[in-house]
Amino acid sequence: MRKRFCFLFLICIFIFTMTGCGNEIPEMSEEESAMVSNYAATLLLKYDSGYQTKLLNQEQLKQEEQMQKQIQEEAQRLAALEAEKEAKKQEEEQAKESEGQSSVETVTYVNPAEFLGLDEISISYNGVEYLDQYPKDGEDLYFATTATEGCKLAVVHLGLSNQTSEVRSADVFSTNARFKVSFNDGDYHSIMSTLFTEDFSVFNGEIQPGESVDTVLLMELKEEDCVDVNALNLYIKCNGQTLKTKLL
């Protein structure tokens, strides 16, 4: 209805323009005809709300699609950069860890006593025994360690010897060293922390000239892991360095 009204209105304007005040129809130049046509088209589009809305919606939709595409591309680019950054970080950390491990492995000592800074003290392996309780003749449970069901206490005996002519101090306690033991080149087992004076990991005492002291390292093993020992490796970590040495 609105379109029809506008169309009739434009026709009236066009006729009025063409006739003027008299009956004679004046001639119009091409430029004037174009101006009238453009004006009529502009009015038609102005009052044709359906056309205007449709055109704007198409443009907005196209812009929105382009914007979404740009946002997705930017998000993918940032995600790729973040993944690359994280991968590079992990590679650097692994490289540093490998360098640290390689430098640790180069630390070698014939006698672990030298690694621990025990001056003129030698350490020797004196056997292992598997017990249900340590000390095995301990009557007071407050001063004994008992293995859990299905397990045994592996008691590794280490002898500390002083072959000099003077009294030597063997202070392992102040080194804050950590120890692990491997049997027959198998997995390393962490030792138990105890307060026994003969516990090698916390030993602190004097050794007389030409004498030896028996110390122990305790760990709990499953009964099936309690095998005859043909090889024993001692792992020591102290002051940022690590030593792996074979005692048997």
- Please check whether residues 150 and 42 belong to one and the same domain: no
Q: Is residue 21 part of a domain?
A: yes
- Please check whether residues 119 and 14 belong to one and the same domain: no
Beta bridge partners of 204: 171
Residue 133: both structure tokens together: 């309780």
- Please check whether residues 153 and 239 belong to one and the same domain: yes
* Per-residue model confidence (pLDDT) at position 247: 86
- Please check whether residues 40 and 127 belong to one and the same domain: no
- Please check whether residues 30 and 141 belong to one and the same domain: no
- pLDDT, mean of each 10-residue run, the chain (248 residues): 48 48 51 54 52 60 73 70 72 62 48 89 93 77 81 95 94 93 90 90 94 95 91 89 86
- Please check whether residues 124 and 39 belong to one and the same domain: no
* Per-residue model confidence (pLDDT) at position 207: 95
Q: Is residue 190 part of a domain?
A: yes
CB 232 within 8 A of CB 244: no
CATH number, position 138: 2.60.40
Q: Is residue 83 part of a domain?
A: no
* Per-residue model confidence (pLDDT) at position 95: 66
> Could you tell me the residue range of the domain that residue 120 belongs to?
112-246
SS3 category, 73: helix
- Please check whether residues 125 and 35 belong to one and the same domain: no
Query: d(Cα 179, Cα 52) in Å, to the nearest integer?
Result: 84
Query: d(Cα 223, Cα 7) in Å, to the nearest integer?
Result: 104
Total domains present in the chain: 2
Last residue of a domain, one of 47, 63, 83: 47
Q: Is residue 60 part of a domain?
A: no
- Please check whether residues 135 and 12 belong to one and the same domain: no
Q: In what order do the strands lie in the sheet with 232-238?
A: 188-190, 178-183, 232-238, 241-246
Q: How far is CA 181 from CA 74, 147, 226, 238, in A?
A: 54, 18, 13, 15
* Per-residue model confidence (pLDDT) at position 161: 95
* Per-residue model confidence (pLDDT) at position 106: 43
* Per-residue model confidence (pLDDT) at position 234: 92
Q: Within the chain, how many helices (H) and strands (E) appear?
A: 4, 11
Task: Please tell me whether the overall predicted TM-score, pTM, comes out greater than 0.75 for this model.
Answer: no
- Please check whether residues 32 and 142 belong to one and the same domain: no
Q: Report which of 111, 108, 136 is spatially closest to residue 123, judged by C-alpha positions.
A: 111
Q: Is residue 147 part of a domain?
A: yes
User: Which DSSP letter does residue 48 get?
Assistant: -
Q: How far is CA 44 from CA 33, 50, 154, in A?
A: 17, 11, 101
Instruction: Give 188's Cβ-side CA count (13 Å radius).
Output: 14
Q: Is residue 61 part of a domain?
A: no
Q: Is residue 73 part of a domain?
A: no
Question: Residue 159 is inside which H or E element, if any?
Answer: strand 151-161
